[in-house]
Amino acid sequence: MKRIAVYPGSFDPVTYGHIDIVQRGRKLFDKIIVAILNNPAKKALFPVDERLEMLRESMSEISGLTFDSFDGLLVDYVKSQGAQAILRGMRAVSDFEHEFQLALMNRKLNREVETVFLMTGMRWFFTSSSIIKEAASFGGDISDMVPPNVLQRVRAKLKR
């Protein structure tokens, strides 16, 4: 049986922290589906199709990945893809309570789907898409936090 995980997120934009989780997750899973939740209520810097493009470009050298977007409940999406697990990264203690609540709810909704947490590498401990966008919007240097293709797009988007 193939071990398949879904790595959900907004990826707005994709960061080196995301890539780190995927690289390490590939050691545990045969296939990872990197999936963007299409959430119209959340104001994103990039539309879903552009985020998918940045994900594909940023992770093109990692085998065993597919990229997708979805609507609705994560556990329903996981089962529809034939996956058994949700892969999540955790940075700080502040992530724990929220992620723990989500994992418990997902477990209640579908006991066949497991949640696997990987601690973010120390280098990426303080990076998040939100913080990176905020820093970039004020002219901060984010070049060591996002891949070059993402950096170009963030800079171009924020110039408008």
The residues carrying an active-site annotation are 18, 42, 91, 129
Residue pair 15/145 in contact (Cβ under 8 Å)? The answer is yes
Angle at 154 between CA 130 and CA 52, to 5 degrees: 80
**If DSSP codes are grouped into helix, strand and coil, which group holds residue 6?**
strand
Q: Strand runs (DSSP E) across 63-136, as ranges?
A: 65-70, 85-90, 114-119
How distant, in Å, are the alpha carbons of 14, 45, 58, 63 from that of 22? 11, 22, 11, 10
Question: What residues contact residue 42 under an 8 Å CB cut-off, 6+ apart?
Answer: 10
Amino acid identity of residue 101, one-letter, is Q
Residue pair 7/14 in contact (Cβ under 8 Å)? The answer is no
Amino acid identity of residue 70, one-letter, is F
